[in-house]
Amino acid sequence: MKLLRWGPAGQERPGILDASGTARDLSGLVPDIAGPVLSDAGLAMLRALDPETLPKVPEDARLGPCVGGTGKVICIGLNYSDHAAETGAEVPPEPITFMKATSALCGPNDPIIIPAGSRKTDWEVELAIIIGTQARYVQQADAFSHIAGYTIGNDVSERDWQAHRSGQWTKGKSSDHFGPVGPWLVTRDEVPDPQNLRLWLNVNGDKMQDGSTATMVYGAGFLVSYLSQFFTLHPGDIIMTGTPPGVGLGMKPPRYLSPGDVVELGIDGLGQQRQDVIADPRA
């Protein structure tokens, strides 16, 4: 099952894809793709519907982030051994974790906004886990029961701010529109092996990233269990699981985004994103 949210930013409505790939409006049945809707019971209720009986979403409707009510976005750094190598870093003995502000979240086809003063805005295609039920002190064997599904994330990053502006990575990860998520929440029953997914990213048609979640150091189930030892995971929380090689920082010389660039990315079975790169119109 593929769930989505559509409409103007901040006013998104819930939706579902039918068998033909047409988006259908769920707003008459549930308030959002959030909270109890993400539980196994909530998803079972949606799965029992006949989507073709629901109103069609307008074809030109904007897609928003595919999950609502996100309290936190937890990111995992250097979680692909080959990506760690391209950045000159060691594979960490435990997952590196940092937070991305929820205000960075945007739709899968919204523009990437380069913030004022940025010199090194970079891209990162990532598998994103969406939590479905509260998780605290979860054993790895039980971790998948707390996952509602998966989606695509682009962990857009300002490398100069991340590395050279002191303190945590968060300030280089949290600018507005630095968190495109979607197009769909694909429920976990449709992703039997999250560690066997191809993921890729192009800039202006040039292939930059082409990897597989098979090379992740710490897999999806481990990450849910690991993070739940430190804090409670709530429905709608997003875990960005890291990126494969091919980021701009790792190129020789490094390559970063500029206004006018076009970023396209995708993960097998989870859809695709497309972002125009623009300068911040408020600057």
CB 91 within 8 A of CB 81: yes
pLDDT at 215: 93
Strands (E) across 117-232 are located at 121-122, 125-131, 147-154, 157-158, 179-180, 185-187, 198-203, 206-212
Output the pLDDT for position 92.
82
User: CATH number, domain at 223?
Assistant: 3.90.850.10
233 part of a folded domain:
yes
Residue 18: predicted pLDDT: 97
Q: Is residue 38 part of a domain?
A: no
* Residue 62: band (very low, low, confident or very high) from pLDDT cuts 50, 70, 90: very high
* pLDDT score of 86 more than 90: no
Amino acid 169: pLDDT:
81
Residue 222 lies in a domain: yes
Does position 71 have pLDDT exceeding 90, yes or no?
yes
pTM: 0.96
Tokens 């990233």 identify what position? 209
**Structural domain for 195, as ranges:** 68-279
Residue 115 pLDDT more than 80?
Answer: yes
Q: Are 243 and 125 in contact (CB under 8 A)?
A: yes
In contact, 16 and 4? CB cutoff 8 Å: yes
Query: 167-192: per-residue pLDDT in tens?
Result: 678 888 999 999 999 999 999 999 99
Confidence of residue 1 (pLDDT cuts 50, 70, 90): very high
Give per-residue pLDDT as tens, 6-37. Answer: 999 999 999 999 999 999 999 999 999 999 99
Asked whether the predicted pLDDT for residue 140 surpasses 90, the reply is: yes
For 178-190, give the DSSP string.
-EEB-S-EEEGGG
Number of domains in the chain: 1
Pairwise pLDDT comparison (76 vs 166), residue with the higher score: 76
Does 14 fall in a domain?
no
User: Over 90: is that where the pLDDT of 91 sits?
Assistant: no
Q: What is d(CA 103, CA 116) in angstroms, rounded to the nearest whole number? A: 17
Q: Say if 271 falls within a structural domain.
A: yes
Question: Is residue 264 included in any domain, yes or no?
Answer: yes
Residue 83 in domain: yes
Helix-strand-coil split of the chain, %, nearest 5: 20, 30, 45
Q: What pLDDT does residue 85 have?
A: 72
Summarised one tens digit per residue, pLDDT across range 227-262 is 999 999 999 999 999 999 999 998 999 999 999 999
pLDDT given for residue 156 in this prediction: 98
Above 80 in pLDDT, residue 214? yes
In a domain, 126, yes or no: yes
Whether the predicted pLDDT of 70 surpasses 80: yes
pLDDT of residue 168: 74
